[in-house]
Amino acid sequence: MEQAIDRLLKEESSAFYVFDTAVLRERIAYLRRHLPERAALCYAVKANPFIVRELKGAVERFEICSPGETEICMKAGIDPEEMVISGVYKTPSVTEELVRGGFTGVITAESLTQYRQLCELSEKYSCRIKVLPRLTNGSQFGMDAEDIENIIASLPEHPGIEITGIQYFSGTQKTSLKRFGRELEQLDRFMGELKERHGFEAKYLEYGTGFPVAYFEGEELDEDTLLDGFTELVNSMEFKGELILELGRSIAASCGRYFTHIVDIKRCKGVDYALVDGGMHQLVYFGQYMAMKKPLFSVAGKSEIIPGKQWTVCGALCSMNDIIVKQAELPEIETGDVLCFENAGAYCMTEGISLLLSRDLPAVYIVKEDGSAVRVRRTFETRQLNTPKYEIEGE
Ligand SMILES: Cc1ncc(COP(=O)(O)O)c(C=O)c1O
């Protein structure tokens, strides 16, 4: 792995990401060791679409929230049986296309409108559709418990619909066992009521737990205790069906690193600045704003910190917000040095304002388990997307 990185550091002249398959596999093994035995893992593709193929066979399901993600998973050869087509808005024509093509995975229903479309499609194409209604947490996502109950009560009118269970997600970076306890109890009670009142037994509970990742210096996270505590809570549930844990950042964050080059060094009004070719548009850490917190990072190939001198690391956007690190002691640095940011495997690369200033998107590498690196995206010019094309035919 380190050899591959050394080579990339020599070859790449601008920012890039590296996702490490071995770290990803170890992470999955760790989660399985600490989570309930009966729990299956469902990878939330939005966290990082570049590692879908690496996760094939390593997780049981893939949660997919857009037509783009569907195509990415299809191209990666994911078995449709392992797909959970999810998302607050599903393009109706795309849903119809899937059903018409005999899709065998699960489709979530986030609203009565989505559910009605699935009922209509099952009649139109005389097929069976596996549907997973999403229970709301009080946000715009999902449906009220009463709506789900009505859906289940009226199932005899829709023989083409198979309700496989309940989906629930209430937020990310959750660290409170008390909160997990409350949510699991609520879900357990709801599924108990559905059984009692309607004879409905959920096969699956698909729960997005929002397990946390420690991104910043000084942040304490006793993950073993949190996950073991979560497992105890699950083991005391009445519900004995399959638990599917929908996870994004908890699976993907640790496998990723972001590399960005120092391109200028200067001092303004007594502050020492290191300017990098990347920036906040390529490195988004949950909970970070104006470098209020310090992400875990290092200077490639240099480890001896020079105490006393405080650096502010800024990106290449013409925005005063584009500060990545503030008041950091660094080794002796110079233009051309590369900063390496850890835990950049989830959301970091896709949540940024990547079209601002029409800068290029970084290249992406996957480091395989044998240590070799494969480039899966070249540096990508966004200027094409920001260029108006007056000469488009017919306009
Ligand atoms: C429905 C659903 N499931 C799972 C996830 C993944 O969350 P996390 O990355 O916190 O694990 C999300 C994230 O937005 C989500 O909306």
Count Cβ atoms within 10 A of the Cβ of residue 393 and give its class: 0-12 exposed, 13-18 middle, 19 or more buried: exposed
Residue located nearest, by CA, to atom 3 of ligand 1: 208
* Same domain flag for 149 and 85: yes
- Residue-wise pLDDT for 314-359, tens only, equals 999 999 999 999 999 999 999 999 999 999 999 999 999 999 999 9
Our CA angle for 62, 155, 158, nearest 5°, is: 85
Q: State the closest ligand 1 atom to the C-alpha of 167, by its place in the atom list counted from 1.
A: 1
Residue from 232, 237, 158 nearest 195 by CA: 237
pLDDT at 1 over 80: no
Q: State the closest ligand 1 atom to the C-alpha of 209, by its place in the atom list counted from 1.
A: 11
Share of the chain above pLDDT 90, in %: 95
Ligand 1 test: best mutation among 166, 174, 247, 348, most atoms within 8 Å of CB? 247
- The CA 250 to ligand 1 mean position distance, Å, reads 10
* Same domain flag for 159 and 40: yes
Does 392 reside within a domain? Answer: no
* Same domain flag for 111 and 239: yes
The first and second tokens of residue 299, run together, are: 């200077």
* Same domain flag for 62 and 178: yes
* Same domain flag for 182 and 119: yes
Domain range enclosing 107: 35-247
Does 19 reside within a domain? Answer: no
Gap between the Cα atoms of 264 and 281, Å rounded: 18
pLDDT at 287 over 90: no
Residue 389: which pLDDT band, with cuts at 50, 70 and 90?
A: confident
Residue located nearest, by CA, to atom 9 of ligand 1: 248
pLDDT at 198: 96
Q: State the closest ligand 1 atom to the C-alpha of 86, by its place in the atom list counted from 1.
A: 1
CA atoms within 13 A on the CB side of 194: 30
Higher pLDDT: 255 or 393? It is 255
pLDDT at 45: 98
- The CA 172 to ligand 1 mean position distance, Å, reads 7
Count Cβ atoms within 10 A of the Cβ of residue 106 and give its class: 0-12 exposed, 13-18 middle, 19 or more buried: buried
* Same domain flag for 182 and 55: yes
Gap between the Cα atoms of 163 and 276, Å rounded: 51
- The CA 394 to ligand 1 mean position distance, Å, reads 42
- The CA 153 to ligand 1 mean position distance, Å, reads 29
- Report yes or no: 321 and 356 within 8 Å, Cβ to Cβ: no
Residue from 218, 211, 206, 320 nearest 273 by CA: 320
Q: What single letter denotes the amino acid at residue 84?
A: V
- The CA 377 to ligand 1 mean position distance, Å, reads 25
- Residue-wise pLDDT for 240-271, tens only, equals 999 999 999 999 999 999 999 999 999 999 99
pLDDT at 100 over 70: yes
- Report yes or no: 76 and 52 within 8 Å, Cβ to Cβ: yes
- The CA 110 to ligand 1 mean position distance, Å, reads 14
* Same domain flag for 243 and 259: no
Gap between the Cα atoms of 266 and 274, Å rounded: 7
* Same domain flag for 213 and 165: yes
- Residue-wise pLDDT for 28-43, tens only, equals 999 999 999 999 999 9
- Residue-wise pLDDT for 120-135, tens only, equals 999 999 999 999 999 9
Determine the 3-state secondary structure of 201 from DSSP.
coil
pLDDT at 283: 97
Domain end marker among 180, 212, 247? 247
Domain end marker among 186, 217, 247? 247
* Same domain flag for 230 and 117: yes
- Residue-wise pLDDT for 197-223, tens only, equals 999 999 999 999 999 999 999 999 999
* Same domain flag for 141 and 75: yes
CATH label of the domain that carries residue 206: 3.20.20.10
- Residue-wise pLDDT for 144-197, tens only, equals 999 999 999 999 999 999 999 999 999 999 999 999 999 999 999 999 999 999
Write out residues with Cβ below 6 Å of ligand 1. Answer: 44, 47, 63, 86, 169, 172, 208, 210, 246-250
Gap between the Cα atoms of 106 and 347, Å rounded: 24
* Same domain flag for 238 and 260: no
Residue located nearest, by CA, to atom 8 of ligand 1: 248
287-308: b (≥16 Cβ within 10 Å) or e: ebeebebbbebbbbeeeeeeee
Q: Where are the alpha helices (DSSP H) in the chain?
A: 2-11, 21-34, 52-55, 67-75, 92-100, 112-124, 145-153, 177-198, 223-235, 249-252
Number of domains in the chain: 2
Mean pLDDT, residues 272-280 taken together? 97
Residue 394: which pLDDT band, with cuts at 50, 70 and 90?
A: low
Does 30 reside within a domain? Answer: no
pLDDT at 210: 98
pLDDT at 395: 54
Q: State the closest ligand 1 atom to the C-alpha of 47, by its place in the atom list counted from 1.
A: 9
- Residue-wise pLDDT for 224-244, tens only, equals 999 999 999 999 999 999 999
Residue 67: which pLDDT band, with cuts at 50, 70 and 90?
A: very high
pLDDT at 393 over 70: no
